[in-house]
Each structure stands twice: as structure tokens, then as C-alpha cells.
Amino acid sequence: PASASPYASDTTPCCFAYLSHPLPLTHLQEYFYTSSKCSMPAVVFVTRRKRQVCANPQKKWVRD
């Protein structure tokens, strides 16, 4: 799954897979970027149900 997981003992979430399709904007509450400590750069979207999903920051739909 493309969900964010805490990195080791740090509370910074890291992503190990990306979401393959765009999320509807109406489902999103906020977003943040993962730490530079993570092996994969990602944008983490937080949905209205508090679910965290990872997206590739290089994708056009993520940048928009």
C-alpha cells in the first residue's frame, strides 16, 4: 500500500510506495513532504478520514 510509516524511532513518516492514481480534491484535508532522511521523496496527503497516502512529487497531478 502507499501509506506513510514512521521512520525507525523517528516519528517522521516515510513512504515505500506511491499511489498510482489521483485522489479527488474533496477527499483531501492537508499534505506535507517527507523528510530528507527518507529513502523515497514523497508528498503525503492526509484524507478527511485521517488516512495518510503517499504520492510521487514528480507526477503532474501531485504538483497541481
pLDDT for res 2: 60
CA atoms within 13 A on the CB side of 27: 9
Domain boundaries, the chain: 5-63
For residue 4, name the pLDDT band (cuts at 50, 70, 90).
low
Whether 7 has a pLDDT exceeding 60, the answer reads: no
Q: What is the pLDDT of residues 18-42, one digit of tens each?
A: 999 999 999 999 999 999 889 999 9
Q: Which residue has the higher pLDDT, 11 or 53?
A: 53
pTM comes to 0.79
Which CATH entry fits the domain spanning 5-63: 3.40.50.800, 2.40.50.40, 3.90.180.10, 3.20.20.70?
2.40.50.40
